[in-house]
Amino acid sequence: MTQPILYGAAYSVYVRAARMALAEKGVGYRLIEVDVFAPNGPPTEHLSRQPFGKIPAFEHAGFRVYETGAITRYIDEAFDGPALQPSDPRSRARMTQAISILDGHVYPDLVWGLYVERVEAPRLGRAPDEARIARLLPKAETTLAALSALSDGPWLAAPGPTLADFHAAPMFDLFVCTPEGQAMLLRHPRMADWWRAVSARPSFSATATV
Ligand SMILES: N[C@@H](CCC(=O)N[C@@H](CS)C(=O)NCC(=O)O)C(=O)O
């Protein structure tokens, strides 16, 4: 079987979601470094793989695909290994629902809004935008409550781990670096249980960057 190629950078939460899916499936791959935050923007050749200049992009035996949700579904379906998507329609709908919540709310609010302001801004010598943080915290509570309500736990969408868990773990790894994230997790015990379960996966430690 031809080894797939993942284009991206290890620091990226979306690249890590794809790497976790590959690790869970036991699929070997090459990670080819692409710096989308280079001063002159993403390398021109990357735009032929990902026209929006984002990472990751994925290639397997001549087949190219971008958008992490599509990449991880392909990984699950094209390779041997444990199934990472539930077969029953309701759990599968919950998995898709969780991934939409992660893309639509967790990444913009908990990663860019909270983690970047609280942790990255001071690293870059800038004061956090406290007004932005204060604005997003109530919405973050809603997001954690919404994720908690999707299943009986510990996994987000189904009785066993699914792609939703591997999509979420890299984002939450940054969220829990913030004091607000730590405190919020304690207020959402379902999410705290989930965090303990997902962060104990070998695929999580094998792809750690923070
Ligand atoms: N919808 C894309 C989002 C990917 C994404 O936002 N990746 C970030 C890195 S974690 C990125 O490439 N950012 C560069 C930019 O926004 O210019 C996906 O699911 O793959």
* Whether residues 55 and 100 fall in one domain: no
Percent of the chain with pLDDT over 70: 100
pLDDT of residue 1: 73
Q: Candidates 55, 75, 105, 109: which one to mutate for ligand 1, based on the most atoms within 8 Å of Cβ?
A: 55
CA distance 153 to 155: 5
pLDDT of residue 71: 99
pLDDT of residue 101: 98
Of 78, 101, 130, the residue at which a domain comes to its end is: 78
Strands across the sheet with 63-66, in order?
30-33, 5-8, 57-60, 63-66
pLDDT of residue 32: 97
| CA–centroid distance, residue 152 to ligand 1 (Å) | 30
Residue 24 forms part of a structural domain: yes
68 lines ligand 1 (CB under 6 A): yes
**CATH number of the domain that residue 33 is part of:** 3.40.30.10
Mean pLDDT of the chain: 97
Of 17, 47, 78, the residue at which a domain comes to its end is: 78
Range of 143's domain? 89-206
Residue matched to tokens 């539930």: 86
In this structure, which amino acid lies at residue 40? N
* Whether residues 38 and 12 fall in one domain: yes
Residue 84 forms part of a structural domain: no
* Whether residues 95 and 123 fall in one domain: yes
DSSP 30: E
* Whether residues 190 and 108 fall in one domain: yes
55 lines ligand 1 (CB under 6 A): yes
Q: Which residues pair with 6 in a beta bridge?
A: 31, 58
Instruction: Decide if pLDDT at 158 tops 80.
Output: yes
Instruction: Decide if pLDDT at 210 tops 70.
Output: no
Contact 202, 160 (CB under 8 A): no
CA distance 148 to 150: 6
Instruction: Decide if pLDDT at 6 tops 90.
Output: yes
Instruction: Decide if pLDDT at 175 tops 80.
Output: yes
Q: Where are the beta strands (DSSP E) in 27-79?
A: 30-33, 57-60, 63-66
Which atom of ligand 1 lies closest to the CA of 107?
6
- Residue 38 pLDDT class (50, 70, 90 cuts): confident
Of 78, 109, 128, the residue at which a domain comes to its end is: 78
Which sign, positive or negative, has the C-alpha torsion 1, 87, 24, 184?
positive
Instruction: Decide if pLDDT at 181 tops 90.
Output: yes
14 lines ligand 1 (CB under 6 A): yes
12 lines ligand 1 (CB under 6 A): yes
16 lines ligand 1 (CB under 6 A): no
**CATH number of the domain that residue 189 is part of:** 1.20.1050.10
For 39, counting Cβ atoms within 10 Å of its Cβ (0-12 exposed, 13-18 middle, 19+ buried), the class is: exposed
Looking at the whole model, is its pTM more than 0.85?
yes
Residues 78-128: pLDDT tens digits? 999 999 999 999 999 999 999 999 999 999 999 999 999 999 999 999 999
Residue 83 forms part of a structural domain: no
Number of domains in the chain: 2
Residue 152 forms part of a structural domain: yes
CA distance 191 to 174: 15
Residue 61 forms part of a structural domain: yes
* Whether residues 66 and 100 fall in one domain: no
The residue whose C-alpha atom lies closest to atom 16 belonging to ligand 1 is 54
CA distance 19 to 207: 7
Q: Could you count the other beta carbons within 10 Å of the beta carbon of residue 122?
A: 11
Residues 6+ apart with CB under 8 A from 86: 92, 94, 95, 157, 158, 160, 162
